[in-house]
């Protein structure tokens, strides 16, 4: 069963953005509506951008990857 956890990610970032510089950077990146969803499928997850020209920098991939690994998921691909 697939589940979208974007809401949980947004909530986590919003609580962390005043605590760390990287969370603030991620929050600013999210404000540009670059990320559509983070989908959990079994023990794996994948991300979906809002459109093909959305920016998805390495630091965002790394941050999401750490967030999901803490919850026991691995990135597809």
Segment 5-63, tens digit of pLDDT:
999 999 999 999 999 999 999 999 999 988 999 999 999 999 999 998 888 899 999 99
Distance in angstroms (rounded) separating the CA atoms of residues 53 and 36: 13
Number of structural domains in the chain: 1
Domain that holds residue 13: 2-75
Question: In angstroms, rounded to a whole number, what is the distance separating the alpha carbons of residues 61 and 38?
Answer: 11
pLDDT recorded at residue 52? 84
**Measured between alpha carbons, how far is 19 from 70 in angstroms, rounded to an integer?**
18
Q: Is the pLDDT of residue 77 over 80?
A: no
User: So what's the pLDDT on residue 64?
Assistant: 97
């Amino acid at each position: 069963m697939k589940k979208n956890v974007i809401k949980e990610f947004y909530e986590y970032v919003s609580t962390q953005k005043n605590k760390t510089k990287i969370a603030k950077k991620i929050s600013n990146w999210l404000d540009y509506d670059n990320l559509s969803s983070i989908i959990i499928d079994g023990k794996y997850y994948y991300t979906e951008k809002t459109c093909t020209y959305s920016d998805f920098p390495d630091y965002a991939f790394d941050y999401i990857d750490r967030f999901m690994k803490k919850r026991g998921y691995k990135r597809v691909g």
